[in-house]
Structure 1
Amino acid sequence: MNETALREAIVRWGKSLFERGLTAGSSGNISVKTPDGYLATPTNSCLGFLDADRLSKLDSDGKHLSGDAPTKELPLHFSFYEKRPQTGAVVHLHSTYATALSCLADTDPRDAIPPLTPYVVMRVGKVPIIPYTRPGSSEVKPLIAEIAGEHSAVLLENHGPIVSAATLDSAVFAIEELEEAAKLSIITRGMKVRQLNTEQIADLERHFKLR
């Protein structure tokens, strides 16, 4: 996909995510890898009203080249690009249920999203929680670096989800699945829930070559 098409895809997906209430106001950010660098949504921009020509263009080292100033959350994004060579796009949202899980004190920090459906296993996998850091702080990079080799998605404590994938479409589908799984987890709290067992999860991993 050429840069023009990538710019259009960022605008299209940003508008879709915003209009469906998956991130509000000027929250959330998107980045994609290009043949010669990266594109990112600008700082303080609303995903619902992006301008393809004003997206931030970065070189391969993350230096701002053109467009509006990039999101302050670049450390989040580059944590995945640097540690997961297969990463082609990163999406960070403040979606309601995933963010709620990131705020609950009893959420499992090793895997915040229980395996209630096969799709969360297939598209997201285990989702650890990263300790709180100030939004935009570079202190988050070593925390994500520790787990990014094994995990394509994390929850930022008291902040929200961030997902990496090979393509922008895949990253959006994964973060949508993460949000739905978080919603199921919260609305079934206190109920007798049947989760996928280890054999079922292993079967999914083998069949869909998840590892």
Structure 2
Amino acid sequence: MSEESTLREEICRVGASLYARGYVHATAGNISVRLDDGFLISPTDACLGTLDPARLARLDAQGQQTGGDRASKTLALHRHIYAADAAARCVIHTHSTHLVALTLQGVWSNDDIVPPITPYYVMKVGHVPLIPYRRPGDAAVGELVAQRIAAARSAGAPIRAVMLDRLGPNVWHESPAAASAVLEELEETARLWLLGGRSATPLTPAQIDELRQAFGARW
């Protein structure tokens, strides 16, 4: 099986897993991967629970579609993320319930939507800034996200996720499985913070520094 065929199967496997566990619903959300010569992305208005590997949208390096069903309208945002972070090989966007609920109630801060309340959040996710509301598909969002990625890198704490106000998270990593793990940890942390009445005490600076030293946490 070719690398592209393997990635097609992996996109569909991750999509079905996220759908089965309630991280996405109906036709919300999308998944893409970067290939050596272009991109694969879930089609527009497709249910992530029932993706067909053969029908994923295939695009060249310039973003022109060359195969599959019509690409998701969020392709431009995904391409901005890939351009801003050379290590990103997969981007996942969902409308995860607790994360969207968090933006409706009010995030912890615009630079960190939830506080560092668990070690695994610090280790596996890191800082997650809030991106101001724009309508779905608005081209301006990609530039806002790229600016956040650049600013975080300059500050010495690279990010691998952002939260779109009222819409949901975008996470990225080296593979669909790795990006999915970041998404799951992020959603679980939001759920824990909301269940605790948004009053949990964050880890101390010393505790976070210990995670940096022991595990290379990017915080």
TM-score interval, normalised by the smaller of the two chains: over 0.9
Matches of 2:98 and 2:121, distance apart in 1? 14
Summarize the Cα distance change of 1:120–1:134 in structure 2 as closer, same or farther, 3 Å threshold.
same
Matches of 2:198 and 2:147, distance apart in 1? 33
Matches of 1:181 and 1:167, distance apart in 2? 21
Matches of 1:145 and 1:67, distance apart in 2? 27
> How far apart are 1:189 and its partner, in Å?
1.5
Q: Residue 43 of structure 2 contacts residue 69 of structure 2 at CA under 8 Å; is this kept in 1?
A: yes
* Counterpart position of 1:198: 205
Structure 1 unaligned runs (5+)?
none
**Percent pairwise identity:** 41
Deviations 1:88-127 (A, max 9, x none): 1000000100111122235411100211111111111011
* Counterpart position of 1:59: 60
SS in 2 for 1:146: helix
Deviates most, 23-32 or 96-105:
96-105
* Aligned residue type for 1:208: F
Matches of 2:160 and 2:197, distance apart in 1? 25
> How far apart are 1:136 and its partner, in Å?
0.8
For these two proteins, the number of residue pairs brought into alignment is: 210
Q: Normalising by structure 2, what TM-score?
A: 0.91
Matches of 2:43 and 2:8, distance apart in 1? 12
* CA root-mean-square deviation: 1.4
* Counterpart position of 1:142: 143
Matches of 2:73 and 2:32, distance apart in 1? 12
Q: Is 1:2 aligned with 2:38?
A: no
* Counterpart position of 1:179: 187
Deviations 1:4-57 (A, max 9, x none): 000000011101100111110000000011122111000000000100000001
SS in 2 for 1:140: helix
Matches of 1:123 and 1:165, distance apart in 2? 11
* Counterpart position of 1:75: 76
Q: Residue 79 of structure 1 contacts residue 148 of structure 1 at CA under 8 Å; is this kept in 2?
A: no
* Equivalent runs, 1:2-41 vs 2, <5 Å: 2-41=3-42
Matches of 2:201 and 2:30, distance apart in 1? 34
Matches of 2:93 and 2:196, distance apart in 1? 25
Q: Residue 111 of structure 1 contacts residue 128 of structure 1 at CA under 8 Å; is this kept in 2?
A: yes
**More helix, by proportion:** 2
Matches of 2:4 and 2:17, distance apart in 1? 20
Q: Is 1:115 aligned with 2:123?
A: no
Matches of 1:129 and 1:199, distance apart in 2? 25
> How far apart are 1:210 and its partner, in Å?
3.5
